[in-house]
């Protein structure tokens, strides 16, 4: 096996055997089909992520995204997208821009601010769990993070459906092969929406996330309108689908191991361990993208300057050089230093929120529906980098014995 396509449905269905081959045989592998250098061993992935100088996140034009053939868009649409606010965003900038931006937004995601959300997140989870009606993704894992971030941003409930649709279409177009036209329309609609919201919060601030982001920091610095709009959009793109997938992947792993699901029902306190193990075992972000700013040698392989490198978080998190028993899903790992949230300067800003939402959701499910069971095969999101489910049919009541 020397060439394989990252978009191959078989790879997407189960990438883990390929990861094992890569780690053992070709830990730094150039894949011609996707024009990407795949890095798969734990220590190498960590080294790439912690070296932002040689492995840049400044990816330039989103059209250049290699993961998704659907992204090679018609020129007219690319021009349309160019009219959106300039692309200085946290995720795709390098220092010093990144350092400045990160300092300005970090205040919104402190552990204390996030922990204070727990009672409200629990209420939302309980409501959704009570209304669960056949599909765990549609009814629970997908709406929960969107409702939470919309409330954090002070978006009126009446706009919630628009907000959810825009957010879904953006993520679909960017990462999972959805319609490019819908994505462009949603990008424009949501940019306008956030621009208007930012202007009105500047005039009359509330105690929501957007108002907080519009305030100046100690140095008197404030985000520009374009930076604010981009950051709000980034929160949707980086936070919603990933958290949905974390909840779905966790439930899939637990359904595959009914003994563990039963234990969670007896002791919902295990939810936190289940969340961490899901992040390691089957994390929502499987690979990140970097561009080399210079020639780099990893092991005995030389990567040229300007190459696109894919550090495979999903492969690193199952590297037997780092983990005992890496292919087992266990709730009793003595420590779990997975890198599902990345590492280095771009380390996920939403970890506390994602963990809280996922833990509260699993606890609520285990308490209210200990007999929840799968009701048919799930369907998977067709992306090599975003791992999760489109649907997860479930049955709420225990099967009655005839
Ligand atoms: C960055 C994963 C949830 C906001 C990242 C990165 C990863 C990641 C791997 C690093 C990207 C890179 O190095 O290129 C995840 C996973 C999540 C999750 C697996 C859920 C399970 C969230 C949530 C939010 C969020 C809930 C906010 C609402 C961000 C932002 C960045 C980021 C803003 C960019 C940070 C920077 O570039 O400095 N996330 N994330 N994420 N995440 Fe998350």
Could you tell me the mean pLDDT of each successive run of 10 residues in the chain, 402 residues long?
Answer: 79 97 97 90 98 90 38 40 57 92 89 96 97 96 94 90 86 75 87 93 93 82 87 88 96 97 95 98 97 96 97 98 97 94 97 98 96 95 93 81 50
- Among 59, 167, 350, 355, residue to substitute to test ligand 1 (most atoms within 8 Å of Cβ): 350
Residue 284 · residue 388 · CB < 8 Å: yes
CA of 287 to the centre of ligand 1 (A): 12
Q: How far apart are CA 244 and CA 330, in angstroms?
A: 21
Q: How far apart are CA 371 and CA 3, in angstroms?
A: 44
pLDDT attached to residue 71:
35
CA of 239 to the centre of ligand 1 (A): 6
159, HSE (Cβ side, Cα atoms, 13 Å): 15
Residue keyed to tokens 């960017």: 174
Contacts of 257 (CB under 8 A, 6+ apart): 329
Asked whether the CA dihedral 146, 147, 152, 154 is positive or negative, the reply is positive
pLDDT attached to residue 86:
52
User: The domain 9-395 is classified under which CATH number: 3.30.750.24, 1.20.140.10, 1.10.569.10, 1.10.630.10?
Assistant: 1.10.630.10
Residue 252 · residue 282 · CB < 8 Å: yes
Q: How far apart are CA 144 and CA 38, in angstroms?
A: 33
386 CB-contact burial (10 Å; exposed 0-12 / middle 13-18 / buried 19+)? buried
Q: Which residue puts its alpha carbon closest to atom 12 of ligand 1?
A: 346
Q: Which residue puts its alpha carbon closest to atom 6 of ligand 1?
A: 348
DSSP-assigned beta bridge partners for residue 193: none
pLDDT attached to residue 398:
60
ipTM greater than 0.85: yes
Two structure tokens written together for 141: 């894992």
For residue 90, give the ligand 1 atom closest to its CA: 37
Q: How far apart are CA 36 and CA 32, in angstroms?
A: 7
pLDDT attached to residue 85:
46
pLDDT attached to residue 276:
98
Two structure tokens written together for 354: 């994602």
> What is the phi/psi pair of residue 42, to 5°?
-50, -55
Distance from CA of residue 45 to its chain's centroid?
18
Residue keyed to tokens 């009105």: 200
Pocket of ligand 1 (CB under 6 A): 57, 90-91, 102, 149, 234-235, 238-239, 242-243, 246, 283-285, 288, 340-342, 346, 348-350, 353-354
**Percent helix / strand / coil, the chain, rounded to 5:** 55, 10, 40
For residue 105, give the ligand 1 atom closest to its CA: 33
Strand runs labelled E in 98-217: none
Asked whether the CA dihedral 191, 193, 199, 201 is positive or negative, the reply is negative
- Among 238, 342, 360, residue to substitute to test ligand 1 (most atoms within 8 Å of Cβ): 238
Residue 326 · residue 352 · CB < 8 Å: no
What does the DSSP 8-state code read for residue 64?
A: G
State the distance between the two ends of the chain, measured CA to CA, in whole angstroms.
50
Residue keyed to tokens 């089957």: 282
pLDDT attached to residue 396:
87
pLDDT attached to residue 43:
98
Q: How far apart are CA 205 and CA 149, in angstroms?
A: 17
Residue 67 · residue 383 · CB < 8 Å: yes
For residue 98, give the ligand 1 atom closest to its CA: 38
pLDDT attached to residue 150:
93
Q: How far apart are CA 298 and CA 39, in angstroms?
A: 9
Residue keyed to tokens 């690319």: 78
Cα 13 to Cα 18, 32, 298, 325, distances in angstroms = 11, 21, 29, 22
3-class DSSP assignment, residue 322: coil
pLDDT attached to residue 3:
65
> What is the phi/psi pair of residue 386, to 5°?
-110, 110
Residue 352 · residue 109 · CB < 8 Å: yes
pLDDT attached to residue 167:
84
Nearest to 327 by CA among 1, 15, 2: 15
Contacts of 266 (CB under 8 A, 6+ apart): none
Domain boundaries, the chain: 9-395
pLDDT attached to residue 32:
76
CA of 15 to the centre of ligand 1 (A): 22
CA of 10 to the centre of ligand 1 (A): 27
DSSP-assigned beta bridge partners for residue 386: 285
Residue 213 · residue 205 · CB < 8 Å: no
């Amino acid at each position: 096996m020397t060439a394989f396509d990252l978009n191959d449905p078989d790879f997407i269905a189960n990438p883990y055997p390929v990861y094992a081959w890569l780690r053992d045989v070709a830990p730094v592998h150039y894949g011609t089909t996707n024009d990407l250098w795949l890095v798969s061993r734990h220590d190498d992935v960590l080294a790439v992520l912690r070296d932002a100088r040689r492995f840049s996140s400044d990816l330039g034009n989103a059209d250049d995204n290699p993961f998704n053939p659907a992204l090679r868009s018609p020129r007219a649409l690319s021009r349309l997208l160019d009219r959106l606010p300039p692309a200085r965003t946290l995720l795709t900038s390098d220092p010093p821009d990144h350092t400045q931006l990160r300092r300005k937004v970090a205040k919104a995601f402190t552990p204390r601010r996030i922990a204070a959300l727990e009672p409200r997140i629990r209420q939302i989870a309980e409501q959704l769990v009570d209304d669960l009606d056949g599909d765990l993704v549609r009814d629970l894992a997908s709406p929960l993070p969107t409702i939470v971030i919309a409330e954090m941003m002070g978006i009126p409930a009446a706009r919630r459906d628009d907000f959810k649709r825009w957010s879904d279409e953006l993520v679909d177009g960017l990462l999972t092969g959805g319609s490019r036209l819908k994505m462009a329309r949603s990008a424009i609609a949501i940019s306008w929406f956030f621009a208007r919201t930012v202007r009105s919060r500047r005039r009359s601030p509330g105690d929501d996330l957007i108002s907080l982001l519009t305030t100046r920091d100690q140095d008197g610095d404030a985000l520009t309108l374009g930076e604010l709009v981009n950051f709000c959009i980034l929160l949707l793109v980086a936070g919603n689908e990933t958290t949905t997938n974390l909840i779905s992947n966790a439930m899939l792993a637990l359904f595959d191991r009914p003994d563990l699901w039963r234990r969670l029902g007896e002791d919902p306190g295990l939810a936190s361990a289940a969340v961490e193990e899901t992040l390691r075992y089957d994390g929502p972000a499987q690979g990140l993208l970097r561009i080399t700013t210079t020639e780099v040698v990893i092991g005995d392989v030389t990567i040229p300057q300007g190459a696109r490198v894919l550090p495979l978080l999903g492969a690193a998190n199952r590297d037997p050089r780092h983990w005992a028993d890496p292919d087992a899903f266990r709730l009793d790992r003595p420590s779990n230093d997975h890198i599902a949230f990345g590492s280095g300067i771009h380390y996920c800003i939403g970890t506390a929120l994602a963990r809280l939402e996922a833990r509260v959701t699993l606890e609520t499910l285990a308490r209210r529906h200990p007999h929840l069971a799968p009701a048919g095969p799930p369907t998977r999101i067709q992306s090599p980098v975003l791992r999760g489910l489109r649907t997860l049919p479930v049955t709420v009541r225990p099967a009655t014995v005839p």
